[in-house]
Structure 1
Amino acid sequence: MNSKNIYTLAIESSCDDTSAAVLLNDKVLSNVVARQEIHEQYGGVVPELASRAHQQNIVPVVDVALKKAGITKNDLSCIAFTQGPGLMGSLLVGGSFAKSLSMALDIPLIAVNHMKGHILAHFIDEEGYSKPTFPFLAMTISGGHTQIIQVDSFFEMKIIGETTDDAVGEAFDKSAKILGLPYPGGPLIDKYAKDGNPKAFPFTKPKVDGLNFSFSGLKTQILYFIQKQTQTNPNFIEENLADICASIQHTIINILMDKLKLAVKETGIKQIAIGGGVSANSGIRNTLKEAEKKYGWQTYIPKFEYTTDNAAMIGIVGYHSLLENKTSNTDVVSKARIEF
Structure 2
Amino acid sequence: MSNYVLGIDTSNYTTSVAVVDLDGNIILDKRQLLKVPMGKRGLRQSDALFQHINNIPILLNEIGKLKICGKIKGVCASSKPRPTLESYMPVFKASTSFGQTISNVLGCKYFECSHQENHIKAAIHSIDEQFDKKFLAIHISGGTTELLLVKRNSKLGYNIDIIGGTTDISIGQFLDRAGVKMGFDFPAGPRLDEIAFDSKMKLKEEIKMFAKNGEISLSGPETRICKLIEEKMDNEYISLLIFEYIIKGLSSMINYATKKYNMDKVILVGGVASSNFIKTHLNSRINDSTSIYFAKASHCTDNAIGSALIGAEAIFEEE
TM-score using structure 2 length: 0.87
1:242 to 218, 236, 243: 236
Code of the aligned partner of 1:246:
L
Q: Is the 8 A contact 1:6 1:319 kept in 2?
A: no
User: CA offsets, 1:119-148, max 9 Å, x none?
Assistant: 111332x5xx30332132111101111111
CA–CA distance in structure 1, aligned partners of residues 164 and 181 of structure 2: 28
Q: Is the 8 A contact 2:247 2:278 kept in 1?
A: yes
CA–CA distance in structure 1, aligned partners of residues 175 and 36 of structure 2: 21
Q: What is the match of residue 17 of structure 1?
A: 14
Q: What is the match of residue 35 of structure 2?
A: 37
Q: Is the 8 A contact 2:4 2:72 kept in 1?
A: yes
Counterparts in 2 of 1:161 and 1:198: CA distance versus 1, 3 Å: farther
Q: Confirm or deny that 1:217 pairs with 2:220.
A: yes
Shift of 1:307: 0.8
Q: What is the match of residue 255 of structure 1?
A: 249
Q: What is the match of residue 197 of structure 1?
A: 201
Q: Confirm or deny that 1:81 pairs with 2:84.
A: no
Counterparts in 2 of 1:80 and 1:204: CA distance versus 1, 3 Å: same
Code of the aligned partner of 1:91:
F
What secondary structure does 1:19 align onto?
strand
Q: What is the match of residue 334 of structure 1?
A: none
CA–CA distance in structure 1, aligned partners of residues 220 and 254 of structure 2: 20
CA–CA distance in structure 2, aligned partners of residues 45 and 108 of structure 1: 32
Structure 2: segments with no counterpart, 5+ residues? 82-86
Q: What is the match of residue 123 of structure 1?
A: 124
Q: What is the match of residue 275 of structure 2?
A: 281
Q: Confirm or deny that 1:308 pairs with 2:305.
A: no
Q: Is the 8 A contact 1:150 1:157 kept in 2?
A: yes
Counterparts in 2 of 1:176 and 1:196: CA distance versus 1, 3 Å: farther
User: Percent of aligned positions with the same letter in both sequences?
Assistant: 24
1:295 to 288, 293, 312: 288
Q: Is the 8 A contact 1:82 1:95 kept in 2?
A: yes
Report the RMSD for the aligned CA atoms in angstroms.
2.3
CA–CA distance in structure 1, aligned partners of residues 217 and 73 of structure 2: 43
What secondary structure does 1:20 align onto?
strand
Code of the aligned partner of 2:136:
L
Code of the aligned partner of 1:73:
C
Shift of 1:39: 3.6
User: CA offsets, 1:96-127, max 9 Å, x none?
Assistant: 11111111222111111101111111332x5x
Aligned residues: 306
Structure 1: segments with no counterpart, 5+ residues? 231-235, 326-340
Q: What is the match of residue 270 of structure 1?
A: 264
Q: Is the 8 A contact 1:196 1:245 kept in 2?
A: no
TM-score using structure 1 length: 0.82
User: CA offsets, 1:143-173, max 9 Å, x none?
Assistant: 1111111223253432211222111100111
Q: What is the match of residue 84 of structure 2?
A: none
Shift of 1:6: 4.6
Q: Is the 8 A contact 2:172 2:272 kept in 1?
A: yes
CA–CA distance in structure 2, aligned partners of residues 203 and 226 of structure 1: 17
Q: Is the 8 A contact 1:16 1:90 kept in 2?
A: no
Q: What is the match of residue 149 of structure 1?
A: 148
